[in-house]
Chain A
Amino acid sequence: DTGVSQDPRHKITKRGQNVTFRCDPISEHNRLYWYRQTLGQGPEFLTYFQNEAQLEKSRLLSDRFSAERPKGSFSTLEIQRTEQGDSAMYLCASSLGLAASEQYFGPGTRLTVT
């Protein structure tokens, strides 16, 4: 399978716990995005990387959210001290090139905070 993969697919956690999600982009894709999507809404931008450099981070993100892409390949998104409002689908997407190009989305990680 050469698509974008995400792990885990589902995560249930208690409020206050930390969670970490992983995204493996399509090989050779230099750009990687993280989005959050709630029911009935469009994907909401969280952050994106060009290779290993984090170029943009949404102001909507509090300091509880952090993302890394240490070697320009896979990426992790960590949420510290989870809150019920963090419950959502977390989508990863990757794209190739320096200019605007299509984004390939992974299946997402569904987070439920109880």
Chain B
Amino acid sequence: GQQVMQIPQYQHVQEGEDFTTYCNSSTTLSNIQWYKQRPGGHPVFLIQLVKSGEVKKQKRLTFQFGEAKKNSSLHITATQTTDVGTYFCAGPLSREGTYKYIFGTGTRLKVLA
């Protein structure tokens, strides 16, 4: 079945260092969403990308959707302790008219002060 994989699974960085997580789908995605889940919390929506090659920025966060719409990345510049959490990508099942989302395996980020 359709799979959404993320790498790395874990990442420890020193505060101020950059961080990148990669999301890869086994099938082409019509759109991709990114969520952040703090320890003990629930997923919180960050952004949605729709167009091939799209790049969106939110302050220190940069999101990119691949040209083939099968991969995406999230890059955080100069991490802060508030960035701690697990980052998930999610893409819809490749079937027209459905909004069933498959979540990636997640990347857990720890920031060392």
Contacts and interface: CB of A to CB of B under 8 A. Distances in A.
Co-complex (A, B): yes
B59 interface: no
A1 interface: no
A3 B14 CA distance: 34
Interface size class of B (residues with CB under 8 A): 20 to 34
A28 interface: no
Interface in A64-108: 91, 93, 95, 100-108
B58 to A, nearest CB: 13
A105 B106 contact: no
Contact of A43 (B45, B48, B92, B103): B103
Given A100-B30, A100-B31, A100-B92, A43 B98 contact: no
A106 B42 contact: yes
Nearest to B48: A102
B104 to A, nearest CB: 6
A42 B92 contact: no
A100 B48 contact: yes
What class of interface size applies to chain A in its complex with B? 20 to 34
B44 A100 contact: no
Interface SS of chain A: helix, strand, loop or mixed? strand
Contacts of B105: 41-42
Contact of B43 (A48, A55, A91, A101): A91
Given A42-B88, A56-B98, A100-B30, A108 B103 contact: no
Given A100-B92, A106-B42, A108-B42, A56 B100 contact: yes
Given A43-B43, A102-B48, 14 more contacts: A40-B106, A40-B108, A41-B106, A42-B88, A42-B90, A42-B105, A42-B106, A45-B102, A45-B103, A55-B99, A91-B42, A100-B48, A102-B33, A106-B42
